[in-house]
Structure 1
Amino acid sequence: MSIFDGQRLDASALHLDWEGIRRQRYSDKYFVNIARLLGALNAQGYTYAGSHGRLPAEQSHGLPIGDMEVEMQWFTRRRGTTVVAGVDVALAVLRRATGYWEGERFIPTADRLQVWAVQDGDTVAYHGDPLQVQPVLRVRGRYRDFGPLETVTLGFLTRASRIATNTYQILQASGGKPVLFFPARFDLPSVQALDGYAYFIGVQRYNHDFDAQVQPFISTDAQGEWWGGVGGGTTAHAFLACFLGDIPEAMVTFARHLPPEVPLIALVDFNNHCARDAVTVAWTMFQHYRAALEANKPEEARKFKLFGVRLDTAGDLRDASIPPLGSPELDLGVNPRLVFAVREALDHAWEHWDLPPRWREEARRYCQEIKIVVSGGFNPEKITRFEKLGVPVDFYGVGSWFYNNHGPTVTDFTADVVRVKVGDRWVDMAKVGRRACDNPRLERVW
């Protein structure tokens, strides 16, 4: 699966449209046309007879162009360090879809390729010089058999590496506080397995580099399909609307019907009064928690342990918990002042509860152990600002920024033919401005 376990993804687990990939439905047409042309030239017995090539005539004339073998390298142009992901998927595509068609019969030829690749989770660096790149994949073989797969393999590498690297950068900003993966609603369902896998790779890379133990949190089961993860989540605004905005009643019902393994996180911005509603929910849940413990039902009590509250205030609203200061940055949405207000309210809520003395310490722990989850417009810049200010956030929920592909996050991969085989020799044949490059992390796959 990655450098972290030394395994490669099993192609059978990917559930890709192998028939469509083999039939080149997803390949740029110019690659398809080139492969078909080379096949036709081979059938005609065409050999090179040009006079403007880079090789002298005695080396080039008579070469069977239709069967030309090439060396191709895949690399990223994202500046700085990229956490690589999507390599195993690209390898699966090459292994299952390299070949050609004879009528309606596909003839696989992947075993004739020579393939080198890094592992998912490896890192590569690029500093703007295309003559100094670090390939993540290198293939030697007959071009017309695998050339049309360039589109598909680049697509997987680009998307997965972008998400993995963005994940890594978000975790750097959060200082290792967990980041919930919430982008599923912003793209097609068919990409969820790849996206969740890329997020998982980014988390693992962060843990590897910083000796951390950050846990991945995904929102759909599909996002965990390739690595064994299971979707989880809090409650939704729609759920609270079904309960007429009664957050405590909604959460009590939630707790009663779901197993205690499901973290109980209350969404408290529905009525735009986060601090008040967080305290009300905490008091309501604590009463059920206390009753279960007094009845000697510890497993029942676990259901009513309020794990956290989530703040998701819209960016054009000022929550009633904080007075206006006249600045959108200080007043609107989920801002530092709001988080501090909620934390302060929860930490001291127990002081105002009517409890027997023996329950007061338990109530204090209950309130002060409640986590705060924030979501809504978070990106590395906003998270960095929160962390610099010491805002008491425990979890960050991030959505569309995982897909960010603008400016410094542009993660475009490209592939170049850099050598051709002439007789028994591999001859440099890159376009001007490119060259064959090495990467010590490349390892022979087959």
Structure 2
Amino acid sequence: MTKETPFDIVPPSAIASGRATDAYFDRTMEALEHAEKNPHVVAEVSADQFPTGDFAVLAGLKDAAHLLAGHPVDVDSLPEGQLFDHGPVMRIEGPYREFARLETALLGFLSHPTGIATNALRARLAAPDSTVLSFGSRHVHPSLGAMVERSALLGGLDGISNVAAGEVIGREAGGTMPHALVICFGRGNQEDAWRAFDEAVPDETPRVTLCDTYSDEVDEAIRAVEAVDGLDSIRLDTTSSRRGDFRRIVQEVRWELDARGYDDVGIFLSGGLDPATLRELRDVADGFGVGGYVSNADPKDFALDIVEIDGEPVAKRGKLSGEKAVYRTAAGGHEVGLADRPGPTDAESLFEPLLRDGEIVREFDLETAASRARQDADAVDFGE
């Protein structure tokens, strides 16, 4: 029987209990229990079996660890923020029935955040010296807001916009004004909107005015800096169909502000931006708000496969059997080999303990993960 709820959101209790699963795992459990089988397995979460050259940033590990916590399994994984282009990112060892029902949620906890963090890193590297903020939570289901914002920060973005998400992940959300605020004051009254904002918001809120609601961007930018003392930045969010040559518009705004002595007022851009536009505009703008490119990133297509049963290598067709190890070579290569064989010379083993007998043995620090992603991007030549 369907239980009526105000929002179509699977509750955390259902995820933790294994009810957020594909139905065939229920059938699997019924069959194994009937046959009194519960083999000791090694299972691996992987995306590609062989190198693709298309690196991704591992994210979502904190949620995945808490999903597996309390189950009698040992888990090893890459560190959060590590880049990979093939091979396993996680290894689970234990009685199969102890985690079978968790597979659906486990893959979701890794797949979607990894896609978002990867695109966030691409955006970060496209404008490495600019402020780049996450503006994309409006493009996804609100229940995913915290995941989107945490993944964006892990990929290296400087800040987030979702208030509730910030409360969940312990980061303060930021933001200034939408076009709706200016429209509420009416055409020709943009100064009233900008002044109301300046007078109402807390002192610590940056003074950033939106300057493309009704008239030319240059006109509104000049009016804004003359209306609000101590303005930090102006923001341009012009609809793409009305932009023309956006770079030339930004250059013209910069010129006219400088000509009037407002060279300390920054220019912040938003609206449908991606790494290509960030690279094009990074020398004429001080910051960017990136939305759908990050939040709407395609999830990484992970799968979980049993590769060993009771000590014997196994695999379905198209998968590689046997427990594996993962390495980063001194030259930046991502190497995968059998765990019981020597690794490459002068290579760093990347798998680290995540859980031991169901207990989480690793800490999850967002800044450390973001730093790792940035450093590893240099090592594997990710980005430009």
Question: Hey, what's the Cα distance between the residues in 2 that align with 1:73 and 1:277?
Answer: 56
Equivalent of 2:200, from 257, 270, 273? 257
Structure 2 partner of 1:369? 264
Give yes or no for contact 2:139–2:296 (8 Å, CA) kept in 1. no
Cα deviation 1:313-332 (Å, max 9, x = unaligned):
111114xxxxxxxxxxxx26
Q: Secondary structure at the match of 1:136?
A: strand
Q: Please tell me whether the aligned partners of residues 20 and 105 of structure 2 are also in contact (alpha carbons under 8 angstroms).
A: yes
Cα offsets for 1:150-196 (capped at 9, x unmatched): 11111111111111111111011113312110111111111011111
Alpha-carbon offset, residue 225 of structure 1: 3.5
Q: Say whether the 8 Å CA contact 2:137–2:295 is kept in structure 1.
A: no
Partner Cα distance (2:134, 2:16) in 1: 32
**2:291 counterpart of 1:399:** yes
Unaligned 5+ runs, structure 2: 1-8, 327-348, 357-384
Rg larger for: 1
User: What are the Cα deviations for residues 174-225 of structure 1, in whole angstroms up to 9, with x where unaligned?
Assistant: 133121101111111110111111111111xxxxxxxxxxx72111123324
Matched, 1:438 2:330: no
Q: Give the alignment partner of residue 160 of structure 1, picking from 109, 113, 122.
A: 113
Correspondence for 1:87: 61
Q: Which residue of structure 2 aligns with residue 179 of structure 1?
A: 132
- Following superposition, the deviation at residue 368 of structure 1 comes to 0.8
Residue 43 of structure 2 aligns with which residue? 72
Q: 2:27 aligned with 1:116, yes or no?
A: no
Per-residue displacement from partner, 1:374-401 (whole Å, max 9, x unpaired)? 11111112222224xx3x1111111111
Asked if 1:221 corresponds to 2:163, the answer is yes
CA distance in 2, matches of 1:153, 1:125: 20
Match of 1:149 in 2: 102
TM-score in terms of structure 2 length: 0.78
CA deviation vs aligned residue, 1:33-89 (integer Å, no higher than 9, x gap): 1122111221xxxxxxxxxxxxxxxxxxxxxxx111211111234752211111111
- Alignment of 1:33 with 2:18, yes or no, is no
- Mapped contact 2:42–2:93 kept (Cα < 8 A): yes
Distance 1:176 1:431 in 2: 47
CA distance in 2, matches of 1:137, 1:176: 33
Q: Is the 8 A contact 1:24 1:32 kept in 2?
A: no
Cα deviation digits, residues 118-142 of structure 1 (max 9, x gap):
221222223xxxxxx1x22111111
Pick one of 273, 277, 280 that aligns with 1:385: 280
8 Å Cα contact 2:45/2:90 also seen in 1: yes
Q: Give the CA RMSD over aligned residues.
A: 2.0
Amino acid at match of 2:125: Q
Match of 2:249 in 1: 338
Match of 1:241 in 2: 183
Greater RCO (Cα-Cα under 8 Å, separation 6 or more): 2
What is the CA distance between 1:23 and its match in structure 2? 4.4
More helix by share: 1
Q: Is the 8 A contact 1:239 1:250 kept in 2?
A: yes
Calculate the TM-score normalised by the size of structure 1: 0.68
Residues 179, 40 of structure 1: CA spacing in aligned structure 2 closer, same or farther, 3 A cutoff? Answer: same
The residue correspondences of 1:235-384 to structure 2 (distance < 5 A) are 235-245=177-187, 246-286=189-229, 305-318=230-243, 331=244, 335-349=246-260, 364=261, 367-384=262-279
What count of residue pairs does the alignment treat as equivalent? 319
- Counterpart of 2:372 in structure 1 is none
Query: Identity of counterpart residues, as a percentage?
Result: 29
SS at match of 1:306: coil
The answer to whether the 8 A contact 1:310-1:375 is kept is yes
1:21 aligns with 2:21: no
